[in-house]
Amino acid sequence: MFSSPVQVPAGTQGGQLKIALIISNGAFSEVSAFISSGIVMPSGITASCSGAQAAQVGIQYSGYIITVSGQTYPFTVTASS
């Protein structure tokens, strides 16, 4: 869980929420997220991962984002080297 929400600048249209899962010593260690809109890329936020989920190259991992308004957005990422 992030300690603060990802902030979307007023008037943003066509922006993308980018999520990065960071791997350290073969396991997911952090997740970061930020909004990308054209050439404007506000700084994002980072949270530590709990547990010790191993990361294997080529394997897909699924998760979900819950917004402060309660909407849920599933996502899938593929680990790469």
* Residues 37-73 pLDDT 10s: 665 555 577 777 776 777 788 888 888 877 777 888 8
CA gap 17, 57 in Å, rounded: 23
Residue 17: left if φ>0, alpha if ψ -120 to 50, beta else—which one?
beta
* Separation of first and last alpha carbons in the chain: 25
Q: How confident is the model at residue 2 (pLDDT cuts 50, 70, 90)?
A: low
Res. 4: pLDDT tops 60: yes
pLDDT of residue 79: 76
The model's pTM:
0.57
**Domain count of the chain?**
1
Instruction: List the domain range (segments joined by +) for residue 40.
Output: 2-79
